[in-house]
C-alpha cells in the first residue's frame, strides 16, 4: 500500500486533471441507419446473448450496438490498470523498478507469471504490469491495485482521462463478473473504446510509456479466437481480453483492441458479450461471436 503522502499526491494529481477533463463519452451517439450496427444486431440475434460493440476511428464517432449499455469489465480493466502504472511512473509517483513482495498465500487463480516466480518473493512493478496485461495475471493485478491505492483510484484516474463511465469497485477476489444492478465493475462499449484511443494514440502517456503499453498489448496472446481471429492478418493490433464464468449468472466474454489498418487511421474496438446462459467452461461458439464482430468491423471500419 502506498504511504499517505504518496497517495495524497496521486489523488491531488488526479483531481486536478479530472477537473479539466472533457466529458468525451457523451459526444459519441450511435449513427442512425448504420449498416455496421445492423450487422452487429443480426449477429446478436443469431448468437442469442447480449452483445455490445463500439468501433471508433481516430477523430471519428462511435458506431455499433448497445453503445451506452453497461457490461461487466472482467479482466479488461487490466489494460487501463497497466496504463495507469505507466502514467504514475511518468509523473514520478512510482518507480517501475520498485519490487512488490508477495507469498504463496497471496497467489490467486489464473496467475501464470506470479505463480511461476513466487519463490523470488517479490516482482518489480514493471514485471507485474506486463504480466497483468499480457497474461491477465490476477495476482499481478491485485498487487498493483493495492500499491496504487485500490479500485477507486483506478476509477478516479480514468475520470481524469475523460472516462467518467468506467468504474472499478472491487479487488479481484470480489470482482463482479456480470452486469450488476448498481453498475459495479462495469463499463460501456463506447466508453472503453474511447479510452483505448486515448491511451494508445493520445498524450495521456509519455511517448516511451505509450510505446511500452502498445508492445504489451501486441504481445498479448489470451483469447486468440476472439477479435484477433476476425481481423485481417495484415492489420497490426493489440488487445486485452476479459472472461467471467460464475454459477448463477451468464458467462461474459470480452475483448478490447486497438487496430492499425494499413494506410488508415487507428481503429478502437470494444466488444462485450453476455452469453445466453451459464456454462461451466468457456465455449468456442461464444468466442466466435467476438471473432465475427471483428470481421464485421473490418468491413465497415
Q: Identify the pLDDT of residue 34.
A: 84
How far is 157 from 11, CA to CA, in rounded Å? 9
187 close to 165: Cβ distance less than 8 angstroms: yes
By mean pLDDT, which of 21-25, 283-287, 291-295 is the weakest? 21-25
Q: In the predicted model, what is the mean pLDDT of residues 240-248?
A: 96
Is 75 a known active-site residue? yes
Run of H or E residues at 234? none
Q: Identify the pLDDT of residue 240.
A: 98
Query: pTM, whole model, 2 decimals?
Result: 0.91
**127-131 own/partner pairs: CB under 8 Å, 24+ apart:** 128/100, 129/81, 129/82, 129/85, 129/86, 129/96, 129/216, 130/82, 130/216
Q: In the predicted model, what is the mean pLDDT of residues 56-80?
A: 96
Run of H or E residues at 172? none
| Exposed/middle/buried for residue 16 (C-beta within 10 Å: 0-12, 13-18, 19+) | exposed
Short-list 96, 100, 69, 84, CA closest to 1 = 100
Q: How confident is the model at residue 9 (pLDDT cuts 50, 70, 90)?
A: low
7 close to 149: Cβ distance less than 8 angstroms: yes
Q: 10 Å Cβ neighbour count for 146? A: 16
Going by the DSSP 8-state scheme, the letter that residue 167 receives in this structure is B
Task: Decide: helix, strand or coil at residue 115.
Answer: helix
Q: Identify the pLDDT of residue 181.
A: 87
Catalytic residue among 13, 68, 75, 249: 75
Q: Identify the pLDDT of residue 198.
A: 97
Please say if the pLDDT value at position 26 is more than 50.
no
Q: In the predicted model, what is the mean pLDDT of residues 10-33?
A: 45
How far is 160 from 195, CA to CA, in rounded Å? 11
Q: In the predicted model, what is the mean pLDDT of residues 113-135?
A: 98
Mean pLDDT score of the chain, rounded to an integer?
91
The pair phi, psi for residue 62, each rounded to 5°, is -70, 135
Q: Identify the pLDDT of residue 59.
A: 86
Q: Identify the pLDDT of residue 231.
A: 98
Please say if the pLDDT value at position 23 is more than 70.
no
Residues 6+ positions from 84 with CB-CB distance below 8 Å: 148, 153, 154, 157
Q: Identify the pLDDT of residue 4.
A: 42
Task: Decide: helix, strand or coil at residue 133.
Answer: helix
Q: What is the pLDDT of residues 180-229, one digit of tens each?
A: 889 999 999 999 999 999 999 999 999 999 999 999 999 999 999 999 99
Q: What is the pLDDT of residues 149-178, one digit of tens each?
A: 999 999 999 999 999 999 999 999 999 999
How far is 214 from 221, CA to CA, in rounded Å? 13
Amino acid at each position: 500500500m502506498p504511504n499517505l503522502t504518496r497517495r495524497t499526491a496521486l489523488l491531488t494529481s488526479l483531481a486536478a486533471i479530472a477537473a479539466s477533463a472533457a466529458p468525451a463519452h457523451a459526444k459519441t451517439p450511435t449513427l442512425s441507419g448504420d449498416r455496421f450496427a445492423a450487422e452487429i444486431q443480426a449477429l446478436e440475434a443469431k448468437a442469442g446473448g447480449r452483445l455490445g460493440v463500439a468501433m471508433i476511428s481516430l477523430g471519428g464517432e462511435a458506431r455499433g450496438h448497445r453503445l451506452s449499455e453497461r457490461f461487466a469489465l472482467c479482466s479488461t480493466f487490466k489494460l487501463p490498470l497497466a496504463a495507469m502504472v505507466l502514467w504514475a511512473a511518468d509523473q514520478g509517483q512510482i518507480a517501475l523498478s520498485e519490487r512488490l513482495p508477495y507469498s504463496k498465500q497471496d497467489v490467486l487463480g489464473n496467475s501464470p507469471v506470479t505463480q511461476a516466480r513466487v519463490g523470488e518473493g517479490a516482482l518489480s512493478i514493471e514485471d507485474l504490469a506486463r504480466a497483468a496485461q499480457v497474461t491477465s495475471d490476477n495476482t499481478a493485478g491485485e498487487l498493483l491495485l493495492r500499491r496504487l491505492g485500490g479500485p477507486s483510484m483506478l476509477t478516479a484516474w480514468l475520470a481524469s482521462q475523460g472516462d467518467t463511465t468506467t468504474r472499478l469497485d472491487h479487488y479481484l477476489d470480489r470482482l463482479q463478473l456480470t452486469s450488476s444492478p448498481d453498475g459495479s465493475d462495469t463499463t460501456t462499449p463506447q466508453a472503453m473504446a474511447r479510452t483505448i484511443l486515448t491511451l494508445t494514440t493520445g498524450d495521456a502517456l509519455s511517448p516511451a510509456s505509450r510505446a511500452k503499453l502498445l508492445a504489451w498489448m501486441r504481445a498479448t496472446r489470451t483469447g486468440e479466437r476472439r477479435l484477433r481471429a476476425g481481423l485481417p492478418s495484415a492489420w497490426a493490433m493489440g488487445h486485452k481480453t476479459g472472461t467471467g464464468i460464475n454459477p448463477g449468472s451468464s458467462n461474459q466474454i470480452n475483448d478490447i483492441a486497438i487496430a492499425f489498418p494499413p494506410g488508415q487511421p487507428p481503429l478502437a474496438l470494444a466488444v462485450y458479450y453476455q452469453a445466453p446462459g451459464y456454462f461451466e467452461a468457456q465455449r468456442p461458439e461464444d468466442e466466435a461471436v467476438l471473432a465475427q464482430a471483428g470481421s464485421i468491423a473490418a468491413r465497415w471500419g
